[in-house]
C-alpha cells in the first residue's frame, strides 16, 4: 500500500482552492475518490460539483451564506459548532480511508480564526489512513503544519 501525501496550498494569492479542485478532478479521471470539506466559504460551487459525484463529494457544514467575519456573535457561535462538526467529519473520513484524497478547503483559515487549534488539525492528520492523500488550503500556515506536510506551496501574487 502506497503512503499518502499531505500537501498544503497557502498564501495571499488566488487559486489555492482551484488547485485543490484540479487535483480532485485528476483523481476522478483515474477512477479514485475525493472528499472535499469546505470551511469558511460564503459561496460554493456545490451545484456544479454535485455533477461529479460519486467520485468527488463536497461537504460544507456551515449554514450561513454570509462570510464568517460579517456574522453576529450569536451567528458565529452557531457556525463554530458547525465548523467543529465539519472537522469531526474530516477525522472520520481520514481515519476510515474511504477517500483516496481528502481536501480540507480553508482549514487553515479556521485555525487563523481560533475556532480549532493546530493540535486539533494535527490529531486529525495523524489519525488518517496511511494511504489517504490530503490537501489543505488557507492564507497562513503554522510550523506544526509545515513539519507534518510532505509538500508546502506558497501561492502569492507576482503582480
Instruction: Give the tens place of pLDDT for each residue, 47-61.
Output: 666 777 788 998 888
Tally Cβ neighbours within 10 Å of residue 154: 12
Per-residue confidence (pLDDT) for residue 74, from 0 to 100: 87
**What does pTM read for this prediction?**
0.91
Band (123; pLDDT cuts 50, 70, 90): very high
Cβ 44 vs Cβ 22: under 8 Å: no
- Superfamily of segment(s) 6-154: P-loop containing nucleotide triphosphate hydrolases (3.40.50.300)
DSSP letter, residue 68: G
Per DSSP, the three-state class of 104 is: strand
- Tell me the C-alpha distance between 105 and 57, whole Å: 13
Q: Give the model's confidence band at 43: pLDDT under 50 very low, under 70 low, under 90 confident, else very high.
A: low
Distance CA 77, CA 95 (A): 27
- Please report the pLDDT score of residue 44 as a whole number: 58
Q: State yes or no: pLDDT of 72 exceeds 70.
A: yes
Most confidently modeled range among 45-59, 74-88, 142-156: 142-156
Amino acid at each position: 500500500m502506497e503512503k499518502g501525501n499531505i500537501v498544503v496550498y497557502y498564501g495571499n494569492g488566488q487559486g489555492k482552492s482551484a488547485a485543490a479542485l484540479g487535483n480532485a478532478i485528476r483523481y476522478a479521471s483515474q477512477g479514485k475518490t475525493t472528499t472535499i470539506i469546505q470551511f469558511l466559504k460564503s459561496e460554493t460551487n456545490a451545484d456544479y460539483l454535485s455533477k461529479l459525484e460519486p467520485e468527488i463529494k463536497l461537504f460544507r457544514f456551515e449554514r450561513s451564506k454570509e462570510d464568517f467575519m460579517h456574522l453576529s456573535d450569536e451567528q458565529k457561535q452557531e457556525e463554530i459548532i458547525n465548523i467543529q462538526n465539519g472537522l469531526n467529519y474530516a477525522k472520520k473520513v481520514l481515519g476510515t480511508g474511504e477517500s483516496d484524497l481528502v481536501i480540507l478547503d480553508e482549514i487553515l483559515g479556521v485555525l487563523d480564526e481560533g475556532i480549532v487549534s493546530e493540535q486539533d488539525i494535527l490529531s486529525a492528520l495523524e489519525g488518517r489512513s496511511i494511504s489517504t492523500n490530503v490537501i489543505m488550503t488557507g492564507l497562513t500556515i503554522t510550523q506544526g503544519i509545515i513539519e507534518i506536510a510532505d509538500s508546502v506551496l506558497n501561492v502569492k501574487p507576482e503582480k
